[in-house]
């Protein structure tokens, strides 16, 4: 299309800027123009002149100069023909196109260098009929074409409008064309001149322009021009898209470069690059760090890699965070142990009441450490019901021996990467919880509580409990490997303490690595002491009652424990005490005073009616009901076993959500009783005539285990003989078909549960006597134990 340079060009040039005539309708005046049949011919290279269009041409060839001079002296008319091949210096008549344009030389200018420049304007199209002479320049006989006749077809106006729009779009997309060109286009009103003007300025080859010139029908010429313009528009749009994309990328790079330079200048003003300062700080910390040789080597490689990286790359932060972790870890930093055994004992006694077995084990560990100076830490597991202080005891142990304390909750953990860490290549990767806690406490020998180890989850892809095998093995944990750290870390000095409620849920291989210490539930007397020493002062402080003097005596506390709680620990007791403190705080806020000593009636007013009653356990109103003792993961409990006989076929029904072992105990009891019926005064024929139904209340609660065997046999014997079971009596033990009573577990929890329930006598296997002796005699004062070996002894003691 239009070119932005207005310099005069030679007739050899391909690029030119047409000059718009002042009057585009000069064609009307040209009707009176007399054009001779013979005209001098001017060959043009690489361009085609259209009627009405003005071109500046620099004439260089001698023949052409002579032809121009002669024509300018006469009528200033000359025939302009395009060369077929622009590379021919001296064209022959056969090298010229047959159709051209008669031009009028508007201006002839002699240049200082001897050249000649002319400004010509196309007038009419002609056809070359015969070349008259070739020397000194071409002269030929021509035939003029008639002027363009505008068609009356309606779509011709649409063609003209389309030509204007397409040309305007091309000008808009072409950065080298002046915007004034679109204004010129809009102001052209003559359709014939518009077509010639646009055709002359096409950015296409000579053959295509010549083909447009040779079309006589202006309608067809306009149609062909639109086709060419559409093609040119598509090319211009594609070129503009590529140019803009390239420009955007270059602009972005230039912008980033400019901002980077500004940033560098700001950093220089502030005293250097912050990244360089960070790396320098890291190196300084590393020099003072005590760490093993492999860690030092890995850090050195990492810092060298960091120095070569650009801070804006994603990997920079990954490497930086890894090195920062290495610097934060206390590789060979250990806190000094306090070997004062008496002080340790005092701290443990002050923080926790009872728990003599655990305290003794910790003092033993400290004693060996004091004598030897170094030893692998044991892996302890505190096993017991919830709410008895297993987790808080770990904190107390750390305080007693002067070590840092950290806690890792394992409940619901189902991904081993939480323990071993994620590989650095993952987005958001971080070290495992073990290394994170070591980093947090700044010591390589803390007391680390692994809480709720029996509640670790698992799925098909990962098994965290297996990952703990390395952590909790004293022979292996001196080289614990974390995936994020990518180094071995020594955990052998860490005192690991795990807590659990149910040992059955711990993987056998993991259980084998643990030193199990059983923590039984608290007796009423212990709970009273715990409440006085710890819970009441804590709740007073929590409710702003420190300076207000009032007391809860022992009888009141026993009432709260027995009538409002049923637990092995003290959490529910703590909540009940909190309710009392809130009531006292409200009373003081309203009345500005409180009772100095609370009475039992006040407790019922605050806490409501008693929730639990021991009366139901103390008496058996009918034959066939016996009281058994059970162990649950929350402590000991009391359960009834009910047996009833009905007329019908010989069968036994078992209800109450019983497990397989418990069902087998019932079958064993019935078989033994049937085999020894006459010995116990039972008619053997009853077994064939009666339907036996054994039920254990609280059917929504699953029940299982062998320890209810003696209770089931007692209930069956009571139902068949009609003799009631002695009141205030509970029992536990496994039975055999030969009538022997076997020992069971959980004796302390069961005995304490019986004591809480107000029962006076307990029957159990003679082998379990040693377990009873471990219980503080003050906690079981008033309870009579019967240690038996056979079921006959049980029935003699139990049945009235």
**Which structure tokens are listed for 709?**
């065997």
Characterize the bridge pairing of strands 116-133 and 9-10: unpaired
Q: Which of 3, 527, 750, 755 is the catalytic position?
A: 750
For the stretch 414-445, pLDDT in tens is: 888 888 888 888 888 888 899 999 999 888 88
Of 133-137, 174-178, 430-434, give the lowest mean pLDDT range: 174-178
Give residues with Cβ within 8 angstroms of 210, minimum separation 6: 48, 82, 97, 99
618 an active-site residue?
A: no
How many Cβ atoms are within 10 Å of 26's Cβ, its own excluded? 17
User: 635-647 and 625-632: which strand pairing?
Assistant: antiparallel
Least confident segment among 147-151, 613-617, 627-631: 613-617
- 407 or 248, which is more confident? 407
Strand duo 741-742 + 734-735: pairing: antiparallel
CB 501 within 8 A of CB 385: yes
CA dihedral defined by 176, 181, 183, 189, rounded to 10 degrees? -150
Question: Is the predicted pLDDT of residue 619 greater than 90, yes or no?
Answer: no
What sign has the CA pseudo-torsion 596, 597, 599, 602? Answer: positive
Catalytic one among 707, 724, 748, 755? 707
Tell me the two tokens of residue 89. Answer: 């210096």
496-543: per-residue pLDDT in tens?
A: 899 998 888 888 888 888 888 888 778 788 888 889 988 999 999 999
- Cα torsion through 728, 732, 735, 740, rounded to 10: -70
Q: Is the pLDDT of residue 458 over 80?
A: no
Q: Which of 389, 371, 346, 301 is nearest to 571 (CA)?
A: 389
Note the pLDDT of residue 28.
Answer: 55
For 333-353, what is the mean pLDDT? 85
CA atoms within a 13 Å half-sphere pointing along the CA-CB vector of 754: 30
- Model confidence at 705: pLDDT above 90: no
pLDDT value of position 614: 62
In this structure, what token pair is assigned to residue 143? 């035939």
Q: For residue 766, what pLDDT is reported?
A: 93
Instruction: Transcribe 615-641 into DSSP letters.
Output: HHHH---STTEEEEEEEETTEEEEEEE
3-state secondary structure of 546: coil
Q: Confidence class of residue 711 from pLDDT cuts 50, 70 and 90?
A: very high
Quick count: other Cβ atoms within 10 Å of Cβ 646?
10
Lowest mean pLDDT among 309-313, 400-404, 669-673: 309-313
Comparing 207-211, 370-374, 381-385, 607-611, the range with the smallest average pLDDT is 370-374
For position 6, what pLDDT does the model report? 32
pLDDT at 765: 94
pLDDT at position 734 is 93
Q: Which pLDDT belongs to residue 30?
A: 63
Helix axes 433-441, 314-328, angle to 10 degrees: 60
With a cut of 90, say whether residue 789 has pLDDT above it: yes
Question: What separation in angstroms does the CA of 759 have from each of 514, 627, 654?
Answer: 36, 10, 26
Distances (CA, A) of 702 to 87, 668, 714, 751: 106, 20, 22, 21
Retrieve residue 120's tokens.
Answer: 């010509």
- pLDDT-wise least confident of 210-224, 260-274, 346-360, 756-770: 260-274
C-alpha 117/C-alpha 56 separation (Å) is: 7
Rounded Cα–Cα distance for residues 716 and 645 (Å): 9
Helix 390-401 vs helix 341-351: angle between axes, to the nearest 10 degrees? 150
pLDDT for position 762: 94
Dihedral sign (CA 26, 29, 30, 34): negative
Place of tokens 């109450």: 656
Residue 449 has pLDDT above 70, yes or no: yes
What does the pLDDT read at residue 5? Answer: 33
Mean pLDDT check: name the lowest of 7-16, 257-266, 442-451: 7-16
Tell me the range of 31-35, 273-277, 374-378 where mean pLDDT is highest: 31-35
Q: Mean pLDDT across the chain, nearest whole number?
A: 83
* Residue 763: predicted pLDDT: 94
Question: Hey, what are 436's tokens?
Answer: 């994170």
Q: What is the pLDDT of residue 7?
A: 30
Q: Are the C-beta atoms of 709 and 672 separated by less than 8 Å? A: no
Whether residue 478 is predicted with pLDDT greater than 60 in this model: the reply is yes
- Dihedral, CA atoms, 380, 385, 391, 397, nearest 10 degrees? -50
Contact 487, 354 (CB under 8 A): no
The per-residue pLDDT for range 11-54, each reduced to its tens digit, is 444 333 444 444 555 555 566 778 888 999 999 988 899 998 88
Cis upstream peptide for 136 (omega within 30°)? yes
pLDDT over 70 percentage in the chain? 92
293: buried, middle or exposed (CB in 10 Å: 19+, 13-18, 0-12)? exposed
Could you tell me the two tokens for 280? 């320098």
DSSP for 238-303, written as a single string? HHHHHHHHHHHHHHHHHHHHHHHHHHHHHHHHHTS-HHHHHHHHHHHHHHT----HHHHHHHHHHH
* pLDDT at res. 785: 93
Active site annotation includes 252: no
């Amino acid at each position: 299309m239009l070119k932005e340079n207005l310099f005069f060009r030679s007739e050899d040039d391909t690029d030119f800027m047409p000059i718009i005539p002042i009057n585009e309708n000069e064609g009307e005046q040209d009707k009176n123009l007399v054009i001779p049949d013979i005209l001098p011919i001017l060959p043009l290279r690489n361009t085609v002149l259209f009627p009405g269009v003005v071109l500046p041409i620099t004439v260089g060839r001698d023949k052409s100069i002579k032809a121009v001079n002669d024509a300018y002296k006469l009528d200033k008319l000359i025939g302009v023909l395009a060369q077929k091949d622009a590379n021919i210096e001296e064209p022959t008549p056969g090298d010229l196109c047959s159709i051209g344009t008669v031009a009028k030389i508007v201006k002839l200018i002699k240049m200082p260098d001897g050249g000649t420049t002319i400004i010509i304007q196309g007038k009419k199209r002609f056809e070359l009929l015969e070349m008259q002479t070739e020397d000194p320049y071409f002269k030929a006989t021509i035939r003029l074409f008639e002027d363009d006749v505008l068609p009356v077809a309606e779509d011709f106006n649409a063609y003209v409008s389309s030509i204007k729009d397409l040309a305007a779009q091309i000008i808009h997309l072409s950065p080298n064309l002046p915007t004034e060109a679109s204004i010129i286009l809009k102001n052209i009103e003559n359709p014939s001149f518009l077509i010639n003007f646009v055709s002359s300025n096409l950015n296409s080859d000579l053959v295509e322009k010549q083909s447009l010139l040779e079309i006589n029908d202006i309608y067809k010429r306009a149609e062909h021009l639109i086709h060419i313009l559409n093609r040119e528009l598509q090319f211009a749009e594609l070129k503009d898209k590529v140019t803009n994309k390239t420009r955007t990328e270059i602009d972005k790079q230039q912008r980033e470069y400019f901002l980077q330079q500004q940033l560098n200048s700001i950093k220089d003003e502030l005293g250097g690059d912050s990244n360089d300062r960070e790396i320098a700080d890291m190196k300084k910390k590393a020099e003072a760090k005590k760490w093993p040789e492999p860690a030092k080597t890995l850090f050195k490689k990492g810092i060298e890699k960091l120095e070569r990286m650009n801070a804006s790359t994603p990997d920079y932060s990954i490497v930086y965070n890894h090195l920062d972790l290495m610097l934060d870890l206390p590789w060979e930093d250990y806190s000094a142990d306090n070997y004062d055994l008496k002080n340790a004992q005092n701290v443990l006694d002050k923080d926790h009441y009872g728990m003599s077995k655990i305290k003794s084990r910790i003092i033993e560990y400290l004693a060996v450490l004091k004598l030897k100076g170094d030893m692998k830490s044991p892996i302890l597991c505190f096993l017991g019901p919830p709410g008895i202080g297993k987790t808080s005891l770990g904190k107390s142990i750390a305080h007693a021996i002067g070590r840092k304390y950290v806690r890792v909750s394992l409940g619901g953990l189902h991904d081993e990467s939480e323990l071993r860490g994620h590989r650095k290549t993952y987005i958001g990767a971080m070290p495992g919880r073990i290394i994170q806690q070591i980093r947090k406490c700044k010591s390589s020998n803390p007391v680390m509580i692994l809480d709720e180890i029996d509640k670790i989850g698992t799925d098909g892809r990962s098994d965290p409990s297996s990952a703990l095998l390395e952590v909790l093995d004293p022979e292996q944990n001196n080289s614990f490997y974390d995936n994020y750290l990518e180094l071995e870390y020594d955990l052998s000095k860490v005192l690991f303490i795990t807590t659990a409620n149910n040992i059955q849920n711990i993987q056998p291989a993991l259980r084998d690595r643990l030193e199990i210490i059983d923590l039984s539930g608290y007796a009423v007397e212990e709970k009273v002491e715990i409440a006085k020493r710890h819970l009441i002062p804590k709740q007073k402080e929590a409710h702003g009652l420190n300076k207000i003097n009032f007391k809860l005596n022992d009888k009141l506390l026993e009432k709260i424990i027995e009538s409002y709680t049923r637990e092995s620990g003290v959490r529910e007791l703590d909540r009940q005490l909190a309710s009392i403190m809130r009531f006292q705080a409200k009373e003081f806020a309203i009345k500005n005073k409180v009772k100095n000593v609370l009475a039992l009636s006040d407790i019922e007013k605050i806490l409501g009616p008693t929730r639990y009653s021991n009366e139901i356990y103390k008496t058996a109103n009918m034959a066939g009901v016996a009281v058994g003792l059970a162990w649950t993961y929350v402590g000991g409990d009391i359960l009834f076993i009910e047996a009833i006989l009905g007329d019908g076929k010989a069968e036994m029904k078992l209800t109450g959500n019983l497990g397989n072992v418990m069902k087998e105990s019932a079958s064993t009891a019935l078989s033994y009783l049937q085999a020894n019926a006459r010995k116990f005064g039972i008619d053997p024929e009853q077994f064939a005539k009666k339907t036996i139904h054994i039920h254990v209340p609280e059917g929504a609660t699953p029940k299982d285990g062998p320890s209810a065997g003696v209770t089931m046999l007692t209930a069956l014997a009571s139902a068949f003989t009609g003799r009631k079971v002695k009141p205030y009596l509970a029992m536990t033990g496994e039975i055999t078909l030969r009538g022997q009573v076997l020992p069971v577990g959980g004796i302390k929890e069961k005995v304490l549960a019986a004591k809480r329930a107000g029962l006076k006598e307990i029957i159990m296997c003679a082998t379990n006597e040693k377990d009873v002796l471990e219980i503080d005699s003050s906690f079981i004062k008033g309870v009579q134990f019967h240690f038996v070996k056979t079921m006959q002894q049980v029935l003699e003691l139990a049945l009235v």
